[in-house]
Amino acid sequence: MQLITETNRNCPMLDIQLLRNQIDSVAARLATRGLVLDVAGFQALEDERKALQTRTQELQARRNALSKQIGMLKGKGEDATAVMAEVGQLGEELKACEQALPGLLERINDFASRLPNLPQADVPVGEDESGNVEVRRWGNPRQFDFELRDHVDLGAPLGLEFDTGARLSGSRFAFLRGPIARLHRALAQFMLDTHTLEHGYTECYTPYIVNREALYGTGQLPKFKEDLFWVLRGGDEEGLEQYLIPTAEITLTNSVREEVLTLDQLPIRLTAHSPCFRSEAGSGGRDVRGMIRQHQFDKVEMVQIVEPGKSDEALEQMVGHAEAILKKLELPYRVITLCTGDMGFSAARTYDLEVWLPAQNTYREISSCSNCEAFQARRMQARFKNAQGKNELVHTLNGSGLAVGRTLVAVLENHQQADGSILIPAALRPYMGGVERIEAPL
């Protein structure tokens, strides 16, 4: 019998020992995320598990010992029927135990798999985004001496077509044509080059369709299936379920899944430009106008795989890498620390970068950088051999650097001119064939 089944082979996100031994402390920390942990329910399951597992193992030990005896007796040519009768008596209870245990373990695992990561101790406690704390600002929002337009109005004559997208695919899809399509491509290229040439990341091109295990590893499954698009292979409608990636974090982070890395391989810094697919199931009528919230958008993602002692430092660096893009693009932004109630499932600490959008007269999220500590590594079984030669879980971090669609929006709105043209920031011009401004084709 196997205690580790397919579904629980990936350990729950929280250390199961922590749950067993310090459940009250875990409950208190999760409470800051607005989550009520069913301590009594968990402990009832645990008590049951402990009794059943102990009994199962007792019976197995007995069976193994007797079977070994049978082997020895038969080897010597002696009669083993008495021992075989004895082991036969164990059969029924053992079978019952072995059948009951996996289901119980599965329930415990499912319970634990749906618990989010524990916030770091100094993360501000808050219920929602109102509890987030601003860390710093960069740049001054521009004063306009003409009536400013939003990116939808600015983009329309430049090739930003929402009606075409809707006709092809439905709402929340955009079709880009001409100068705006080129600007979109230039932004992604510029970001990739900056991260690879200046920040030490290795460029990657990754699959956009992944299996369930990968999404479990980074924490999107089992809890957030409704946020994803899932796909089936043609001619194989009964077949394996796979998913479109909601971010390249999935593929970059899972690239070390089930690996035991050596110390000298760390840190690993990866970046990729990819489309991201999100069903936006829970977003209701939010941001229906424009390309702020799309089912498909491009993003340049940064991922770091580091030693546990170095992840805090790595997060600060990674935020700096994302900020560098905004600075080069001359886009005002602010950095905020997400409070406990606003953090994502896998994160122990998250900084959001919010770019100034003049037409909305506010800062909007354009990057999110998180330290997931060992949470994802535990689910992925991504480890390294530490200095003591022991396998230890790595720490994983991910951050957008940046969301390309929203960056496009920010460039349009912040660098718009009175005549509706867009001034291209100097850093981006080499990627635009030297063009200094884009304007509607005649």
Partner RNA sequence: GGAGAGGUGGCAGAGUGGUCGAAUGUACCUGACUCGAAAUCAGGCGUAGGUGCGAGCCUACCGUGGGUUCGAAUCCCACCCUCUCCGCCA
The site for RNA (CB under 7 A) is made up of 1-6, 9, 11, 16-17, 20, 50, 53-54, 56-58, 60-61, 63-68, 70-72, 74-75, 84, 87-88, 91, 102, 235, 239-240, 260, 385, 389-391
Write down the least CB distance from residue 334 to RNA, Å. 41
Q: Across 119-256, where does the E strand assignment appear?
A: 133-138, 160-161, 175-176, 202-204, 209-210, 230-231, 242-244
Write down the least CB distance from residue 309 to RNA, Å. 18
Distance CA 70, CA 81 (A): 9
Write down the least CB distance from residue 52 to RNA, Å. 10
Write down the least CB distance from residue 9 to RNA, Å. 7
Write down the least CB distance from residue 217 to RNA, Å. 16
Distance CA 67, CA 83 (A): 8
Between the alpha carbon of residue 141 and those of residues 187, 276, 418, the distances in Å are: 21, 29, 16
Q: Please choose, from the candidates 296, 299, 291, the residue with its C-alpha nearest in 3D space to the C-alpha of residue 152.
A: 291
Cβ proximity to RNA: between 3 and 28 the closer is 3
Cβ proximity to RNA: between 45 and 70 the closer is 70
Write down the least CB distance from residue 115 to RNA, Å. 16
Distance CA 258, CA 265 (A): 15
What are the contacts of 383-391 at 24+ separation with CB within 8 A? 383/259, 383/260, 383/261, 384/260, 384/261, 384/262, 384/263, 384/265, 384/266, 384/307, 385/260, 385/261, 385/262, 385/263, 386/263, 386/307, 387/263, 391/260
Cβ proximity to RNA: between 19 and 306 the closer is 19
Cβ proximity to RNA: between 212 and 429 the closer is 212
Cβ proximity to RNA: between 195 and 257 the closer is 257
User: Which residues are tagged catalytic?
Assistant: 278, 293, 365, 368, 406
CA 106 to chain centre: 23
| Residue 31 structure tokens | 């409470």
Distance CA 88, CA 58 (A): 15
Q: What is the DSSP letter of 320?
A: H
Q: Please choose, from the candidates 46, 191, 136, the residue with its C-alpha nearest in 3D space to the C-alpha of residue 332.
A: 136
Hey, what amino acid is at 44?
A
Cβ proximity to RNA: between 28 and 65 the closer is 65
Residue 305: beta bridge partners? 268, 396
